[in-house]
A and B are shown apart, each in its own frame.
Chain A
């Protein structure tokens, strides 16, 4: 594998369009995500945020455009292949493996890095420790509380050893104190050098956390920049935040 040039972004989305029949879910989206950043992906429901995640992680293939990861074109690669190359994700509605216990869930992720069961199990146990779920290792995944399920999703994704982590509304629906604990975990993940893209609705939580924000609207990039700039953007205010934000 050729080592990417230092100035290359970790992820480059290059004029990506995805159509479902007549519906355009993403239209000519271009984005660059430098290594080490926490990027917030914002936008109202149906703006194309989850679709963009599915395009990056390989669930969908774009109708047009390219996706470049670590200097290589991954547009045609399958989801598992992308995972092995360092892209991991969580799902908006947690999708734990409910016939398995917590550590077994995470071991599945560990196998992306190691073929040996012992090594995958060690990675899983370490990752659970890191994610603050070690005490629940033997619990059946289906019996976890909602915040624990979110933590499991993150742990499972981290066990694959990602360079890029896509978090789809991991803080949504949590109580303020649970969300605060979640934010701490995301900061801890970013501190290990993992680049994070997160879709989130709760502005109060996202704004202090992210280095950069991108606002999608009707499948297009509406605004992009430092979070404090983005919230002052005219189009964003009308499309998403609503008039009361202007007053504030």
Chain B
């Protein structure tokens, strides 16, 4: 195809499209830097500890939902078993710290790597399953993981593990007197996952994953390694989910199987992305900003989480989104921009 290898003439249609694309990518980075800086400054304006707690959880679930989004949103493999990796992260961090004195930073990393390896091992059989069968398999595997931890005395069994009391320190991620450092950790975590997603979005993996999601057979015919794509997405997704688990353990200072591995977590990772906009850079944060405060409010005003009212709330929200805006809340903004363009060019 000799005609197609010539350089682009400056000012030609393709050359202009290329330049505007690069500018658009850079703009996204600038917007993200501003958003994350604003979020990091937010706790200085909110002195209320209860509200700071809601902020930390919102940011954490935004980051975890973005991690889920890498596999579920970009690659289209809807996992409802990510509580497994969250639990691995929480347990690896806790056991390494409490039993062996390893700093949580390294514990998180170990939990992340362990989860990535497990995701590859589980992906090998599971990615042969299509669509709903894959999702069901992930639920079952996560439940098995929960049962195993329940009966494993070395990691505390059903009793769980309490973190020892430590003075406030960034080394041990323990802050008893002030929650602001936790806000900053959560913002940093969200920023890292966002940035990695941004990088992937512009790379071959990103295009491969979306092609796999839209039409795997067409993707294969264009040179996309479908199985390898799913495996890579699963590993990256599991890695960051476990980092979040480690952070959560350090934040709450006490873990047991139900409090880090129950099915509820798998839902809480998937829902913000679904609500905000699946397979998008900002969908998980937008979704978490709606869902998590609602959850916390319903908990404090309607009583504890035991009665399942929060689950009913999720159900209603998902139904509303599915009926009114199947592409998520973010698509509201996209629609208006498109309408504006159409007005500009009659």
Residues of A within 8 A of B (CB): 57-59, 78-80, 83-84, 88-89, 91, 95-100, 103-104, 107-109, 111-112, 115, 117, 120-123, 125-130, 134-135, 137-138, 156-161, 192-194
Q: B-side binding surface: helix, strand, loop or mixed?
A: helix
Q: Are B1 and A99 neighbours in the complex by a CB distance under 8 Å? A: no
Q: Are A192 and B4 neighbours in the complex by a CB distance under 8 Å? A: yes
Q: Are A117 and B222 neighbours in the complex by a CB distance under 8 Å? A: no
The 0/1 profile, CB within 8 Å of A marked 1, for residues 215-255 of chain B is 10111111111100000000000000000000000000000
Q: Are B3 and A130 neighbours in the complex by a CB distance under 8 Å? A: yes
Q: Are B222 and A160 neighbours in the complex by a CB distance under 8 Å? A: yes
B148 to chain A, nearest CB (A): 36
A52 to chain B, nearest CB (A): 15
Q: Are B222 and A120 neighbours in the complex by a CB distance under 8 Å? A: no
Q: A-side binding surface: helix, strand, loop or mixed?
A: helix
Q: Chain B residues with Cβ under 8 A from A58's Cβ?
A: 220-221
Q: Are A108 and B208 neighbours in the complex by a CB distance under 8 Å? A: yes
Given contacts A97-B211, A99-B213, A111-B208, contact A123 B4 (CB under 8 A): yes
Q: What separation, in Å, do the CA atoms of A115 and B211 have in the docked complex? A: 16
B183 to chain A, nearest CB (A): 34
Residue of B nearest to A134 (CB): B13
Q: What band does the interface of chain B fall in when counting residues whose beta carbon is under 8 Å from A?
A: 20 to 34
Residues of B within 8 A of A (CB): 1-4, 6, 8, 12-14, 17-18, 21, 202-204, 207-208, 210-211, 213-215, 217-226, 279
Q: Are A121 and B210 neighbours in the complex by a CB distance under 8 Å? A: no
Q: Which of B202, B221, B225 contacts A88 (CB 8 A)?
A: B221
Q: What separation, in Å, do the CA atoms of A98 and B21 have in the docked complex? A: 20
Q: What separation, in Å, do the CA atoms of A54 and B222 have in the docked complex? A: 13
Residue of A nearest to B202 (CB): A117
Q: Are B14 and A192 neighbours in the complex by a CB distance under 8 Å? A: no
B17 to chain A, nearest CB (A): 6
Residue of A nearest to B14 (CB): A125
Q: Chain A residues with Cβ under 8 A from B222's Cβ?
A: 80, 83, 88, 108-109, 111-112, 156-157, 159-160
Q: Which of A89, A122, A126, A130 contacts B221 (CB 8 A)?
A: A89
21 A/B residue pairs, CB under 8 Å, sorted by A: A59-B221, A80-B224, A91-B221, A95-B218, A97-B211, A99-B210, A108-B207, A108-B219, A111-B222, A111-B224, A112-B223, A122-B8, A122-B18, A123-B4, A125-B8, A127-B4, A130-B4, A135-B13, A156-B222, A158-B1, A159-B222
Residue of B nearest to A91 (CB): B218
Q: Are B4 and A83 neighbours in the complex by a CB distance under 8 Å? A: no
Q: What separation, in Å, do the CA atoms of A58 and B221 have in the docked complex? A: 8
Question: Which of A84, A97, A112, A135 is the most central at the interface, judged by chain B CB atoms within 10 Å of its CB?
Answer: A97
Q: Are A79 and B221 neighbours in the complex by a CB distance under 8 Å? A: yes
Q: Chain A residues with Cβ under 8 A from B210's Cβ?
A: 97, 99-100, 104
Q: What separation, in Å, do the CA atoms of A111 and B222 have in the docked complex? A: 8
Q: Are B203 and A108 neighbours in the complex by a CB distance under 8 Å? A: no
Known pairs A121-B21, A160-B222; list 14 more (Cβ under 8 Å): A59-B221, A79-B220, A80-B226, A83-B223, A96-B215, A96-B218, A99-B214, A103-B17, A109-B222, A120-B204, A126-B6, A126-B14, A134-B14, A161-B1
Q: Are A128 and B225 neighbours in the complex by a CB distance under 8 Å? A: no
Q: Are B217 and A59 neighbours in the complex by a CB distance under 8 Å? A: yes
Given contacts A99-B210, A111-B207, contact A129 B217 (CB under 8 A): no
Q: What separation, in Å, do the CA atoms of A78 and B219 have in the docked complex? A: 12
Q: What separation, in Å, do the CA atoms of A111 and B210 have in the docked complex? A: 13
B56 to chain A, nearest CB (A): 32
Q: Which of B2, B207, B220 contacts A59 (CB 8 A)?
A: B220
Q: What separation, in Å, do the CA atoms of A22 and B300 have in the docked complex? A: 65
Q: Chain A residues with Cβ under 8 A from B3's Cβ?
A: 130, 192
Q: Chain A residues with Cβ under 8 A from B4's Cβ?
A: 123, 126-127, 130, 158, 192
Q: Chain B residues with Cβ under 8 A from A83's Cβ?
A: 220-223
Q: What separation, in Å, do the CA atoms of A91 and B218 have in the docked complex? A: 8
Q: Are B1 and A95 neighbours in the complex by a CB distance under 8 Å? A: no
Question: Which of B8, B14, B223 is the most central at the interface, judged by chain A CB atoms within 10 Å of its CB?
Answer: B223
Residue of B nearest to A80 (CB): B223
Q: What separation, in Å, do the CA atoms of A80 and B222 have in the docked complex? A: 6
B335 to chain A, nearest CB (A): 12
Q: Are B204 and A117 neighbours in the complex by a CB distance under 8 Å? A: yes
Q: What separation, in Å, do the CA atoms of A192 and B139 have in the docked complex? A: 52
Residue of A nearest to B3 (CB): A192
Residue of A nearest to B214 (CB): A97
Q: What separation, in Å, do the CA atoms of A123 and B222 have in the docked complex? A: 14
Q: Chain B residues with Cβ under 8 A from A91's Cβ?
A: 217-218, 221
Q: Are B225 and A80 neighbours in the complex by a CB distance under 8 Å? A: yes
Q: Are A97 and B218 neighbours in the complex by a CB distance under 8 Å? A: yes
B77 to chain A, nearest CB (A): 14
Q: What separation, in Å, do the CA atoms of A103 and B208 have in the docked complex? A: 14
Residue of B nearest to A53 (CB): B221
A188 to chain B, nearest CB (A): 9
Q: Are A115 and B214 neighbours in the complex by a CB distance under 8 Å? A: no
Q: What separation, in Å, do the CA atoms of A39 and B2 have in the docked complex? A: 22
